[in-house]
Chain A
């Protein structure tokens, strides 16, 4: 069982810049139209945006890339190959665009088990800020699949 003392653990990321070229690739892979506000700077500006619009699910992977989750899993002795993504939720407060600089503050908020301990869940919540202003919140649940003794 994951030690519940990990609840409350907080990690603050470096400043992360939202990069145009990466946003374009992300948007292309997910089928956003080539002439739309997520891939075409001119289209974004024509629609009143300062730059490319950040797709609604982009922040989740960027939070993963801060590696806070890997450090947490290592600390609680869980192998990455034993985890699956369980849930992901986004709350949006202000739109984000290419060129914005953001910070993730991620906190472990819950740990619980189901199925006689075969499945464990690690819940983390992230506040995403731009120049100190809250722009979005994320909630992620990781599922840890434990081996069942034969």
Chain B
């Protein structure tokens, strides 16, 4: 952890492909029951070709990768913007880089830039996190 400095890139992590079964289970597990993610009829009626992942699937992967990089009790904040939808079969890849080291409330924290890409390399999420260092 002490080896972290501004510009340090965290090792990217690729997740398995988004599947329809996973989205159906995620709706129930997460509490986001919006049918646009699980019912093709609803997705088509709303003008989409197919169902697509909840934004919180890709952000959830980012959260999981983040707490593999750092102990969760050091996590002070996490967030991001959803840039576009994550289609079925996409494989989200989570990336992070240390942007700055700051002192907040008497503790040293790393501010991280985070982003999730899918197969074409473009981000579906751009975000950030704040992690206590000591």
By a beta-carbon cutoff of 8 Å, the part of chain A in contact with chain B is 22, 25-27, 29-32, 37, 53, 55-58, 60-65, 80-82, 84-92, 95, 139
Contact = CB atoms under 8 A, between A and B. Distances in A.
Contacts of B67: 55-56
Interface string B102-128: 000000000000000000000000000
Nearest to B82: A85
A60 B82 CA distance: 14
Contact of B79 (A37, A81, A85, A87): A87
A110 B55 CA distance: 21
Contacts of A29: 22, 25-26, 29, 57, 60
Interface of B: 15-16, 22, 25-26, 28-34, 36, 42, 45-46, 54-57, 59-64, 66-67, 72-73, 75-82, 85
Contacts of A61: 29-32, 54, 56
Contact of A82 (B30, B46, B61): B46
Given A26-B29, A57-B63, A61-B32, A31 B16 contact: yes
A58 B29 CA distance: 9
A4 B37 CA distance: 29
Given A25-B25, A88-B79, A91-B77, A80 B34 contact: yes
Contact of A57 (B16, B56, B77, B85): B56
Contact of B31 (A32, A64, A80): A64
Given A29-B29, A139-B79, 13 more contacts: A26-B29, A29-B22, A55-B60, A56-B63, A57-B60, A57-B78, A61-B29, A61-B31, A65-B32, A81-B36, A86-B81, A91-B76, A92-B76
B60 to A, nearest CB: 4
A47 to B, nearest CB: 9
A62 B33 CA distance: 10
A32 B64 contact: yes
Nearest to B67: A56
A39 B78 CA distance: 21
Given A85-B55, A88-B55, A65 B33 contact: yes
16 contacts: A25-B28, A26-B29, A32-B64, A37-B72, A57-B62, A60-B30, A61-B31, A61-B56, A63-B31, A81-B45, A82-B46, A85-B82, A87-B81, A87-B82, A88-B56, A91-B76
